[in-house]
Structure 1
Amino acid sequence: MGLLKFSLTTFISLLFLACEGEVSSADLFEIKLDGKKREYFQSEQIEVSINNKKNIKIDRVRYSIDGEVLEIQNNTIKLDIEKLGNKTLKAVIEYEENTAEISKNIRVLAKDPPTIYTYKIINQYPHDIKAFTQGLEFFQDTLYEGTGSGGMAKSFIRKIVYQTGEILLQKDLESPHFGEGITLLNDKLYQLTWKSGFGRIYDLSHFNNLGEFKYGKSREGWGLCNDGTNIYKSDGTEKIWLLDPNTLQELSFIEIVTNKSIFNMANELEYVNGKIYANVWQKESIMIINATSGAIEGVINMAGLKEKVKQHNNLDVLNGIAYHPERKTFFVTGKNWDTLFEVTFTPK
């Protein structure tokens, strides 16, 4: 009985000591930020400190976001980070020959509000009223278009003489797949599907099917564009994904932000000189997004354009934006619009 009592006591003591040894970093330390806020601005300087819950001697603290170490001076860090949005501020604490890592979730917003732009119509061209436009892009003065299955026709991709609307080549997407955004890179055309979870690759000459790629963490397929090297993909959330042009795997993402909030619903995309121009789903506006940081640097008010096309029961929203590099103008249209508009944008 005495031996049993001793063994049980010993077991309980060892169990207690083991539990005592499994102290988490959060039990020892906590990141404290100036004003206890959760939202800050890019390049903002904020006071930071460590709440040392057990009064342990701390030898060194390093702070980082997205793997980039932040310089600290006089207990102040500067949020001089490249990508904005929802972020995790990490602190690596060295103490008594041990290391602890703790974190705090914050939101880093754009420093400046977006500039408001207006549009000017330069020319108008015929557009297929049955085309439920999802993607639009130029290549060597030829317009390429991808559509969804809304309105009066099924999904397809086609290349067009933009001045006349003449169809040079078309390939339909088999049902039940719903076509979405397109982009052209390295003599290939890439097309998204909305909810089918895959995209398709075609050659430019004959639209022969070269293969498919599956989505990773992105929710759906909405818009596509490219910067000549990388491909960008929107999925209806606050994220725009950066895709490897060879494997089409999602490498990273930016989050779309203003100086006040995180924004979602970027639809059709077009990349021009470091900026992503994005149709806003169900809105008569286009965002100008910094392709590196995700900051919305401009908003183009496109109000009134829809009223200039033929009004009918299947008429839908503004969608489709393509930049013509030689003309240095943009071409925009909408779902089941009978007109393609050539426009320029100017600050209001």
Structure 2
Amino acid sequence: MRRLPLPSLWLAAALVLGACSPSAPARAATPVYGYQVVRTYPHDPNAFTEGLFLRDGFLYESTGLEGASSIRKIVLETGSVENERSISSQFFGEGIVDWKDKLIELTWKNQVGFVYDLDDFEARGEFSYAGEGWALTRDDKRLIMSDGTARLRFLDPETLKEIGGITVTDQGRPVDQLNELEWVKGEILANIWQTDRIARIDPATGKVTGWIDLTGLLPAQDRARADVLNGIAYDAKADRLIVTGKLWPRLYEIKLVAKH
């Protein structure tokens, strides 16, 4: 233990007075939400899920791992793949997002992303960024990108250049390992890598306004083969929130339930 010098008389007195004075009010704990499963959908148990979103009734998913990365358009109710494009084996595919008629994808450590036609997945361009690429989502004006740190970057959706960002904190402490993202009702939801928790984030301040605890969502008998929770998709028209994980055999439509 590092030793501190003895306090002077005035400091000692101040410490005594401070000990006798009323303590500062305790900071309220960040709310925690549980879940209720509404419905399940099939999910490819070989899909190492990196990105997920819903559009026009279809599920779009990106998968990772070198030599196994792909982007897919999937019928949610059946799990059948309508369209798929494999990514070059030199890349580890990461998060995806839609913007107008485009699908935009990150890669993990290559510092390059790809732009595709949303309908046929034909290549339409590339872009670069510093650091790692983990996940993407968007509001109606900008893309939002995670890179594994506590910072979320804002990108111009047309130029794909960084235009700002926020640092995510909970009770003043940075929250890193921000992974798959989804924009839901004016806030950002973020998987925290290697946990069963999702952070609810205020996009203006970066403050975590709540935690979603998904402990126990995947049954124990499926855990042995499956990897971590990762993948959030929201259907605004039907108000459906869907989550899954890497190598999970199912997607789960859930409703949030307040715990405390």
Structures share a fold, TM > 0.5? yes
* Cα distance in 1, alignment partners of residues 239 and 28 from structure 2: 27
- Equivalent residue number for residue 37 of structure 2: 121
Q: Does 1:200 align with 2:114?
A: yes
CA displacement, residues 32-72 of structure 1 (integer Å, 9 cap, x when unaligned): xxxxxxxxxxxxxxxxxxxxxxxxxxxxxxxxxxxxxxxxx
- Equivalent residue number for residue 319 of structure 1: 230
| SS of match in other structure, 2:248 | coil
* Cα distance in 1, alignment partners of residues 170 and 142 from structure 2: 24
The Cα of 1:312 is off from its aligned counterpart by: 4.3
**Number of residues of Structure 1 aligned to a counterpart in Structure 2:** 233
1:198/1:212 contact within 8 Å kept: yes
CA displacement, residues 119-174 of structure 1 (integer Å, 9 cap, x when unaligned): 11000111001100011000111110011017xx7000001001000100000110
Which of 242, 254, 259 is equivalent to 1:343?
A: 254
Which of 184, 188, 209 is equivalent to 1:272?
A: 184
* Cα distance in 2, alignment partners of residues 134 and 201 from structure 1: 16
The Cα of 1:276 is off from its aligned counterpart by: 0.3
| SS of match in other structure, 2:170 | coil
For 1:271, give the aligned amino acid: W
For 2:244, give the aligned amino acid: T
* Cα distance in 1, alignment partners of residues 28 and 150 from structure 2: 19
Structure 1 unmatched ranges of 5 or more: 1-110
- Using a 3 Å threshold, how does the CA distance of structure 1 residues 337 and 210 change in structure 2: closer, same or farther? same
* Cα distance in 2, alignment partners of residues 167 and 184 from structure 1: 18
Which of 209, 220, 230 is equivalent to 1:297?
A: 209
Q: Does 1:156 align with 2:66?
A: no
Q: Does 1:306 align with 2:222?
A: no
- Equivalent residue number for residue 246 of structure 1: 158
Larger radius of gyration: 1
- Equivalent residue number for residue 83 of structure 2: 169
* Cα distance in 2, alignment partners of residues 305 and 273 from structure 1: 23
For 2:49, give the aligned amino acid: T
* Cα distance in 2, alignment partners of residues 289 and 113 from structure 1: 15
CA displacement, residues 253-274 of structure 1 (integer Å, 9 cap, x when unaligned): 1000111411111100001122
Which of 210, 216, 230 is equivalent to 2:124?
A: 210
* Cα distance in 2, alignment partners of residues 288 and 277 from structure 1: 5
* Cα distance in 2, alignment partners of residues 332 and 234 from structure 1: 18
- Equivalent residue number for residue 237 of structure 1: 149
* Cα distance in 2, alignment partners of residues 204 and 112 from structure 1: 44
Instruction: Indicate the RMSD between aligned Cα atoms, in angstroms.
Output: 1.5
CA displacement, residues 305-340 of structure 1 (integer Å, 9 cap, x when unaligned): 122663444x20000000011221211110001111
1:113/1:258 contact within 8 Å kept: no
Identity of aligned residues (%): 41
* Cα distance in 2, alignment partners of residues 312 and 168 from structure 1: 29
Q: Could you say which structure has the greater relative contact order, defined with CA pairs below 8 angstroms and 6 or more residues apart?
A: 2
- Equivalent residue number for residue 52 of structure 1: none
- Using a 3 Å threshold, how does the CA distance of structure 1 residues 160 and 296 change in structure 2: closer, same or farther? same
The Cα of 1:346 is off from its aligned counterpart by: 2.3
The Cα of 1:176 is off from its aligned counterpart by: 1.5
For 2:142, give the aligned amino acid: N
Q: Does 1:190 align with 2:101?
A: no
* Cα distance in 1, alignment partners of residues 145 and 214 from structure 2: 23
- Equivalent residue number for residue 245 of structure 2: 334
